[in-house]
Structure formats: structure tokens, C-alpha cells
Amino acid sequence: MTISNRLKSLPPHFFSTLVKNVESALAEGRDVINLGRGNPDQPTPPHIVEALQAAVEDPATHGYAPFGGTVELKRAVADFYKREYAVDIDPDMEVAILYGTKTGLVELPLAIMNEGELLLLPDPGYPDYLSGVSLANIRHETFPLLAENDFLPDYGSLSAEQKKQAKLMYLNYPNNPTSATATLPFFEETVALAKEHDIAIMHDFAYGGIGFDGKKPVSFLQAEGAKEVGIEMYTLSKTYNMAGWRVGFAIGNAGIIEAINLLQDHLFINQFPAVQRAAITALSGDQENVRELIALYEGRRNVFIDECRRIGWDVQAPAASFFAWLPVPAGYTSASFTQLLLDEADVAVAPGNGFGKYGEGYVRVGLLDEEERLREAVRRIEKLKLFS
């Protein structure tokens, strides 16, 4: 038995070596502070857990979910976008319930692209976008996200060929890995580009719920005309610490939503109805836990960034997400600096080049450990005397 060419073409998991190295350090009994991961460290708020428990007790949740997801969850999604972003969404035509947004990101090329067509992806970017490229057997090209442009794409640097050929473009703000945020004018410029060149847009809003200093990240759908050209994907994994539950949604352009729903009808029908009920509680219930979560990450950010600056590391404070994107010191690459931190400081970070060639020269730190551990991580790095 051999695996299909489609599976053979899946990109290798860049971070698997890092994970192995961290695991073997831990197996040696070393106290590694692991800031390389992107998995939220806090539990799901209790009222959401209780909603699932109650839903599981109800036999009405034990059968197949309706095709396209439950009406109640789709309404809750529309209400959530109205409340949070003042965006009007038709729950019947403009919402697809996703089995986590990673699934949606991989499904989208399968749903709306033909083999050989072109997808434009950000570099650096979330590595899993490439899984959809392989499975749908499409082409992809990247556009750079540079510090000098605040890690926003410069559409002027896309070639005429790219603009002509691209069928779809992925964007992601607040951004993984750079933590950069977008502005409404940038999204308006995106809509104009999409309309002029007939490019569909998918905005990945995974970290949309986590903005610091009282600033709420902007939704792509807040831009005039956004629904005419694209969709946004939102996950409950980060805002509500529900990464294991696998629930998110895509909203926006009715044609794209219909295509995703059609594909999902054939793949798995839809998410467990009890999880859909708990998702309604998350989106519609008390949002105090979200405010607390933002405050927790903001506190960690302040501690970590202050400590980095104290030791002479010239770093930018993230305005959103739970990542910090840090330049490596002179004389190191992303990989060699990551290795040094693990070997000499027992601190694990994610090397920037794992997110694309324009990630070279950076490492990504997840603010996913207690403040004291973050402080301790910087103290260990300080001992390496890399910064003056």
C-alpha cells in the first residue's frame, strides 16, 4: 500500500524537529520553558463547559447535525458580528460552521479553485495554508510582509501577472506570526484590489478577539463591499480557549459560503450538535472571560517586553494576538538562535524561517506561560550576554 501523490505532496511539518528537540530536552529532565507553541494554556470558561455538559444530556443533540450547521448557531454568529463589529450577516446564506478554522482554510481551495489555479499567500504566514495548496493541487505564490510596511502587504509590488492570475488571496490580522494588526483603510484597499482584479479574499481573523491597550482588531467585513469579494474565518479556539473543541465559522460572500457548505455536506455533514450549542453560549453569553483573557495576555506582554528591553533587546510590543515577533541578535539566523536558546538557556521559541523566507531574522514567542516563567525565560537569555 502506498499513500497518494496528494498526501505525498503535503508540506513537511517544519516545526517537527523543534518539537523533537524540546521533547528530548524534557526527557533529560531539563526545565525547558516552552514558548514555541501556539496552543492556549488556559481552560475553557466554566459556563461554556457546563453548556456542553447540559447539551450532551439532551438526546436531541445525539443525531446528525443539520447540513450547513444548526440555525441557532448561525443566528448566534450573525448576532455576534452585529454586536462586536456592527456587521450585518444573513445567517442562512452567509455563515458556514467549521470544524475549526484550520479545516476551513484547507477546504477553501478545494471548494472554489481548480487544479493549477493561483493562490496568493503571505510570507511569513501560518504554515497550514500550504496544506490546502497541496491537497487541492493548486499553485501558490507569496507576497512579503515587511517590518518597514508594518507587516502589511504592499499591493503595488504584486506583478501584473500575479494580479491577473490570482483566484484567491489569504490575509491574516492580527497576524500569526508577526502579531501585526490591520487598519480599515488597508481592508478598503484590499476590497478595491479584489474588485479590480477579480480576486477572492479570505481573511483569517483567528486572533480577532485579542487586542491590547483597549484597541479592538478590525474585521475585514467592516470594509465597505467586503462581502462582495470575500469571507472572514473566525475561530472559538483563541477567544474562548476552545482549541480542542474544533469549532469556528466562515462568514461573508454567499457564493463562497455555499461552496464551503457543499464540500462539508460531503465530508462530514457538520459539527456535533452539542458542541454547536456550547458555541452559542460562548458567542452569546457573558463576555467577562474574554475581557479577563485579554487582560491576562496584556499583563504577560508587558512583563515580557519590559524584561526584553531591560536586557537591551530592541523589541516591538505586540498590539494584539498572543505572539511576540522578535529580531534575532546580530550574527545569528532564526535557526541558530533558536538552537542556542534551547541548548544554553532551556528556552524554546519558534524560528521565524518556519513561517516563510521573510520570517528569517526573527523568532516567535508565545505568551502562553505564567508571567513568572516569562520573566525567568528572559533572565536565562540575559545570562547569554547577547545584548548590550
176 vs 346, beta carbon nearer ligand PLP = 176
Contact with ligand PLP (CB under 6 A): which of 34, 70, 142, 176? 176
Which cell numbers hold the place of 257?
459560503
Asked if the peptide bond before residue 185 counts as cis, ω within 30 degrees of 0, the response is no
Task: Single out the residue of 237, 241, 261, 271 in contact with ligand PLP (rule: CB under 6 A).
Answer: 237
Binding-site residue total for ligand PLP (CB under 6 A)? 13
Residue 319, burial from CB neighbour count under 10 angstroms (0-12, 13-18, 19+) = middle
Site string for ligand PLP, 129-168 (x = CB under 6 A): ----------------------------------------
Cα 45 from chain centroid (whole Å): 20
Give least dist CB 177 to ligand PLP, A: 8
Q: Give residues 315-334 in contact with ligand PLP (rule: CB under 6 A).
A: none
Query: Which of 206, 279, 280, 305 is the binder for ligand PLP (CB under 6 A)?
Result: 206
- For residues 249 and 77, the answer to whether their CB atoms sit within 8 Å is yes
* Near ligand PLP by CB under 6 A: residue from 94, 107, 204, 369: 204
For position 172 contacting ligand PLP by CB under 6 A, the verdict is yes
**Binding residues among 76-105 for ligand PLP as defined by CB under 6 A:** 100-102
For residue 336, the one-letter residue type is: S
Q: Buried (b) or exposed (e) across 286-313, using 16+ Cβ within 10 A?
A: ebebbeebbebbbebbebbbebbeebeb
Three-state DSSP class for residue 214 = coil
Positive or negative torsion for Cα 295, 80, 274, 129: negative
| Cβ distance to ligand PLP smaller for residue 130 or 378 | 130
Nearest to 133 by CA among 165, 106, 114, 99: 106
Nearest to 190 by CA among 177, 173, 212: 173
Within 8 A by CB and 6+ apart from 34, the residues are 22, 348, 369
Check the CA dihedral 23-304-351-250 and report its sign.
Answer: positive
Q: Which is nearer to ligand PLP, 38 or 359 (CB)?
A: 38
Q: Of the candidates 80, 81, 85, 126, which one interacts with ligand PLP according to CB under 6 A?
A: 126
In whole angstroms, the minimum distance from the beta carbon of 70 to ligand PLP comes to 18
| 243: contact with ligand PLP by CB under 6 A | yes
Q: Is 364 in the site for ligand PLP (CB under 6 A)?
A: no
CB 44 within 8 A of CB 242: yes
Residue nearer to ligand PLP on the CB measure, 45 or 248: 248
Q: Is the dihedral of CA 67, 69, 74, 75 positive or negative?
A: positive
235 binds ligand PLP (CB under 6 A): yes
**Residue 366 CB, nearest approach to ligand PLP (Å):** 10
Query: Nearest approach, Cβ of 244 to ligand PLP (angstroms)?
Result: 9
Give the whole-angstrom CA distance, residue 219 versus residue 249: 14
The residue among 32 and 320 lying less far from ligand PLP, judged by its C-beta, is 320
In angstroms, what is the minimal distance from the CB of 356 to ligand PLP? 13
Residue entry with cell 477546504: 107
- Whose Cβ is closer to ligand PLP: residue 172's or residue 287's? 172
Q: Which residues in this chain contact ligand PLP in the complex, by CB under 6 A?
A: 38, 100-102, 126, 172, 176, 204, 206, 235, 237, 243, 248
